[in-house]
Amino acid sequence: MHILVLLKMAPDVVEDLEIAPGGKALDLDCLRMILSESDDHALEQALLLKERHGAKITALALDAPEVDDALFTAAAKGADRVMKVVGMDPGFTTREAARYFSQAIAEEPGLLPADLILTGVQAIDDLDGLVAPIVADGLRMPYLGIVTGVALEASAQAARAIKEYPAGVRGEFLVQLPAVLGIQAAEKPPRYVPVAKVRAAMKSVKIECSQALTLADGGLPLVGVVEMKRNEPAGHAEMLEGKPDQVSGQLCGILAERGLF
């Protein structure tokens, strides 16, 4: 069993986000990039499958600041091979990201055949599409998204995947392999790996590089950001200020006035 995990870095929104001069994009200099949360879950789901069934895991990432950290961490957790696609035009969109992934998958020896291709269901910056369905379509593989659990059938020709629906309802799907799954959450939260193990991986593991090809067809259909701005919540809510006991007293008065307790 070969599981290919596609990883994309995304801005850490815990940090303050700044808009670049020109007002159409985030200021990359002020960003901290982290592995997109659901991609981290995709990696974890791959590791769980490896533990249960034995598998080779290849992690393929797109070059971005901090991507080496993410890949060494993936190796420290149990990925067998780590590779990054380099040389993309900066500021590529999600749809372009999907095509960079697809090109690398097609071109680099050993990425195919893959029985499962796992990636996050959606990243917070997926403005012009989602990676998983595009890669699936390109490879003519079935796609299922919002997946929160994967079990292999005994034949290893198919998997049972749990997909989330609204209101806590889930669906159990039988998916013929190879397939691409957009993972929402792994069956367990992503594991913690000690820093020492990541450091060891930095010494012993080599990140392979795949050179991105220029996207040939003169670009994708137009999606142009006209303006980007920070959501300024200030002014919306009435803000209560003071020490915890002061604001609590204030809030309590407001709730009591409304007969809420």
Partner 1 sequence: MTGNICVLAEQWRGQITEVTYETLALGREVADQAGVPLTAILPGSHCRELARFLGAADAVVYIDHPLLAETVPQTCAEAVAQAMAGERPRALLVPLTNISLGIGTLIGVRLGAPVVNFCRDIRVADGRLLADCVMYGGKIEATVEAGAPSGPGPAILGIWPGARQAEKGRAEREVPVTDAAVVLEDTGAIRLCRYIEPEAGDVDLTKQEVLVAVGRGLQDRANLPLAEELARALGGAVCGSRPVIDQGWLPLSRQVGKSGLTVKPKLYVALGISGAPEHIEGMKDAALIVAVNSDPQAPIFSVAHYGIVGDAVETMPALTAAVEARKAAGQHA
Contacts of 185 (CB under 8 A, 6+ apart): 38, 41, 148
In angstroms, rounded to a whole number, what is the distance separating the alpha carbons of residues 40 and 121? 11
Give me the count of residues in the chain.
Answer: 261
245's contact among partner 1, ligand FAD, none, with CB below 5 to 8 A by partner kind, is: partner 1
The site partner of 240 among ligand FAD, partner 1, none (C-beta below 5 to 8 Å per kind) is partner 1
Using the rule CB under 8 A, is 222 a contact of partner 1? yes
- Residue 122 within binding range of ligand FAD, rule CB under 6 A: yes
Task: Using the structure block, give the residue that is written with the tokens 């780590």.
Answer: 82
Q: What is the DSSP string of 60-129?
A: EEE--TTHHHHHHHHHHHT-SEEEEEE-PPTT--HHHHHHHHHHHHHHSTTS-S-SEEEEES--TT-TT-
CA 46 to chain centre: 13
CB of residue 157 vs partner 1: minimum separation in angstroms? 11
Asked if the peptide bond before residue 178 counts as cis, ω within 30 degrees of 0, the response is yes
- Check the CA dihedral 56-49-126-98 and report its sign: positive
| Min dist. Cβ of residue 80 to partner 1 (A) | 26
Both tokens of 140, joined, read 């003519």
Cβ atoms < 10 Å from Cβ of 105: 21
- Give least dist CB 93 to partner 1, A: 10
Give the range of 58-66, 76-84, 164-172, 205-213 binding partner 1 by CB under 8 A.
164-172
Query: Which position among 36, 101, 126, 152 is part of the footprint of partner 1 (CB under 8 A)?
Result: 126
Nearer to ligand FAD, 113 or 166 (CB): 166
Site for ligand FAD in 145-184 (CB under 6 A): 146, 184
Considering only 52-60, 74-82, 157-165, 205-213, which stretch makes contact with partner 1 by CB under 8 A? Answer: 157-165
66 binds partner 1 (CB under 8 A): no
* Binding residues among 25-54 for partner 1 as defined by CB under 8 A: 26
Which partner in ligand FAD, partner 1, none is near 195 (CB below 5 to 8 A by kind)?
A: none
Decide: is 45 part of the binding site for ligand FAD (CB under 6 A).
no
Give residues in contact with ligand FAD (CB under 6 A).
121-122, 146, 184
